[in-house]
């Protein structure tokens, strides 16, 4: 069981087409393990390095303010902010 604090999701839009969620990661916060039920786009609103725990192992990824990326349904991971700075991104899930 993890002792990390939880990242804070704030749902901005939830309708028949999209779910838009702002994710705020304080230093040391994590999402917890989860599997994405939709294709999604991530729009970073800060720069930062996030640690991804996956079934294949652990790796760090750099996110860049305003540089979006996409992933497909079924991604399973835990996202962790192992830095001393808050990291924020907006996730847009496509229904």
- Domain ranges, ordered by start, for the chain: 8-94
Backbone CA torsion sign across 70, 19, 94, 37:
positive
R_g of the chain, CA atoms, integer Å? 13
* pLDDT per residue of the chain (95 residues) written in tens, 0 to 9: 678 999 999 999 999 999 999 999 999 999 999 999 999 999 999 999 999 999 999 999 999 999 999 999 999 999 999 999 999 999 999 99
* pTM, 2 dp: 0.94
End-to-end CA distance of the chain: 31
Which overall architecture, per CATH, does domain 8-94 show?
Answer: Sandwich (2.60)
């Amino acid at each position: 069981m993890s002792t990390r604090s939880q990242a804070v999701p704030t749902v901005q839009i939830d309708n028949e087409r999209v779910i838009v969620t702002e994710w705020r990661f304080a230093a040391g916060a994590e999402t917890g393990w989860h599997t994405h039920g939709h294709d999604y786009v991530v729009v970073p609103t800060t720069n930062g390095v996030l640690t991804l725990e996956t079934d294949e192992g652990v790796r760090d990824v750099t996110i860049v303010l305003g540089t979006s990326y996409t992933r497909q349904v079924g991604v399973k991971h835990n996202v962790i902010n192992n830095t001393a700075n808050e990291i924020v991104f907006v996730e847009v899930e496509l229904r």
